[in-house]
Structure 1
Amino acid sequence: MTGTVAAVSVGLLAAALGSGWLGPDVWRGATFCEAAVHGPVVQPANTWSNAGFVVAGLVIAWQAGDVERRGATFTRYPALATCFACLVVLLGPGSAAMHATQSALGGHLDVLSMYLVAGFAAAYALMRWTRRGPGTFAAVLAALVLACELVGRWDREIPVVMFSGNLAFGVLLVLAVTLEVRIARRGEVSLDLRYAWLAVAAMAAAFAIWNLSRHGLCRPHSLLQGHAAWHLLNALAAYLLYRLYASERAPADR
């Protein structure tokens, strides 16, 4: 299924770029350093670097079959592993839609894909922390994404993170990591928290590079873009988060 999602979403993006479905260039994403060029892809480096998310999602889907035969929560609810893999894949064309077109709709698809992945991480952690099932997960995910959309409507600039949607995204990730640590310390299951800290380190490095590329280290016409590094490091972080989920073991499986 994840392969189908990848093929369809990338195909739709290609069709949208060729047909102009995403709307006019309104300079959405122009603050991410890379200079706009003429052609169907306005910011090449910031666009093509999103392939990292597609690759990460496909690798997650490929490895999930083995996890489902172990003692992780994904064993009981394998559809959740597929859901996570698909959402990671969608980060790629979602973000690329903005950087390729700088359109308003592209920008919305970008932040929506971010909310979905961060919402998954927080909802999945909360489901396991409260010892509930997929119904709780789905309700919490929908509520969190809606909350992010509402917060993102606040149009005042926020220091460091730029806008309120980025702040909401970061809060969800902090919540997810905090709950994962608490789940591990509760002792009902074992989790290899090294993957959690590696994911946090990757995201911290991505955030640092993202900010440096906006303040003083911006080279608009270079193919080596800090925001492109942000994409690749966050794709790595998404994969490491999956590895954390896959490391879960019930007491009898330790």
Structure 2
Amino acid sequence: MDRDRRPVTAAGVTAVVSCGLLAAGIRYGWLGPDVGRGAGFCEAGRDWAVRQPANTFSNAGVPGARPDIGAGPSAHRRRATALACLVVLLGPGSAAMHATQAALGGHLDLLSMYLVAAFAVAYATMRWLRGGTRLLAGVFVGALAACEAIGAWDVQLPVVMHPGNAAFGALLLTATALEVAVMRRGGTTARHGYAYGSFAAILVAFAVWNVSRAWLCDPRSLVQGHAVWHLLCAVSAYLLYRYYASERSPAAIPSRDLARER
């Protein structure tokens, strides 16, 4: 079966442009002064152009999504393209904070997380309610606005540290619950192993995120637990896309292939 290359092409362009802008921002100080943003993730800031090299360059692991054809977002080019681009933005967004430790870099880090989590909730809601692109867009914008509002609170929270992290986690839990509901209802077939793998990867990533902030912290090391968090988030995002891409209506699948697809 031929594959639509437009999502991965758009994701590639997004990666080149966003990484180019990030490099220029680091070079010319566009993101502002170092205010220690991201210093709570163990790695000590160096007096280098890139303040936290391990936590910065580990973001190169965020993958582009493969544009396989199915009845999920890969069958709808605009949705597939949007998701692929949003996933790619996770890397430069996070790197903006760790490379500069600037306040604006910290906001870009959170914004990139909000974008992907808001899409996950919006896409799950659209499928659960059997809606269309307008519903997806409305839920996406609403979820993103809610994250921005919550993230603006200037409070310190236990475990998750920042209200924005809490909003991100709440969106992921909501998306997970909706995906389970969609699976249980049936009506489509998908390779659920990808969804289980994505959820497992983000759970392990969150565990690493917590223990590496203090218990297993070596600030001068180039081997950082937070860098592992970035890599596992990349794995989780990729597997989530693969789950979406595998989803098809049973009517579109030859009967001999139904068992394999499930």
Does structure 1 conserve the Cα–Cα contact (< 8 Å) formed by 2:208 and 2:228? yes
Does structure 1 conserve the Cα–Cα contact (< 8 Å) formed by 2:73 and 2:80? no
Distance 1:183 1:43, change over 3 A: same
Structure 2 residue identity aligned to 1:50: N
- 1:131-170, CA deviations, whole angstroms, 9 ceiling, x for partnerless residues? 1111111111111011001011122211111111111101
Distance 1:73 1:216, change over 3 A: closer
TM-score by length of 1: 0.93
| Structure 2 SS opposite 1:31 | helix
| Structure 1 SS opposite 2:130 | coil
Q: Following the alignment from structure 2 to structure 1, what is the Cα–Cα distance between the partners of residues 238 and 74?
A: 15
| Structure 2 SS opposite 1:214 | coil
Structure 2 residue identity aligned to 1:33: C
Distance 1:73 1:43, change over 3 A: closer
> Once the 2 structures are TM-superposed, how far is the Cα of residue 46 of structure 1 from its aligned partner?
0.2
Please identify, of 191-200 and 107-116, the stretch whose mean Cα deviation from structure 2 is larger.
191-200
1:91-240 paired onto structure 2 within 5 Å: 91-240=90-239
Q: Following the alignment from structure 1 to structure 2, what is the Cα–Cα distance between the partners of residues 96 and 74?
A: 28
Does structure 1 conserve the Cα–Cα contact (< 8 Å) formed by 2:96 and 2:105? yes
Match of 1:71 in 2: 71
Q: Following the alignment from structure 1 to structure 2, what is the Cα–Cα distance between the partners of residues 118 and 158?
A: 20
Q: Following the alignment from structure 2 to structure 1, what is the Cα–Cα distance between the partners of residues 115 and 94?
A: 12
Match of 1:3 in 2: 12
Q: How many residues align?
A: 244
Match of 2:61 in 1: 52
Distance 1:129 1:27, change over 3 A: same
Does structure 2 conserve the Cα–Cα contact (< 8 Å) formed by 1:51 and 1:92? yes
Match of 2:41 in 1: 32
Structure 2 residue identity aligned to 1:124: Y
Q: Following the alignment from structure 2 to structure 1, what is the Cα–Cα distance between the partners of residues 142 and 85?
A: 19
| Structure 1 SS opposite 2:169 | helix
Structure 1 residue identity aligned to 2:31: L
RMSD: 1.0
Does structure 1 conserve the Cα–Cα contact (< 8 Å) formed by 2:55 and 2:95? yes
Match of 2:246 in 1: 247
Match of 1:21 in 2: 30
Aligned structure 1 segments of 4 or more residues deviating by more than 4 angstroms: none
> Once the 2 structures are TM-superposed, how far is the Cα of residue 73 of structure 1 from its aligned partner?
4.6
Q: Following the alignment from structure 1 to structure 2, what is the Cα–Cα distance between the partners of residues 71 and 36?
A: 46
Q: Which runs of 5+ in 2 are unaligned?
A: 1-9
Structure 2 residue identity aligned to 1:96: A
Q: Which runs of 5+ in 1 are unaligned?
A: none
- 1:16-46, CA deviations, whole angstroms, 9 ceiling, x for partnerless residues? 1000000000000000000111121000000
Does structure 2 conserve the Cα–Cα contact (< 8 Å) formed by 1:27 and 1:103? yes
Please identify, of 197-206 and 92-101, the stretch whose mean Cα deviation from structure 2 is larger.
197-206
Structure 1 residue identity aligned to 2:210: N
Identity of aligned residues (%): 59
Does structure 2 conserve the Cα–Cα contact (< 8 Å) formed by 1:181 and 1:193? no
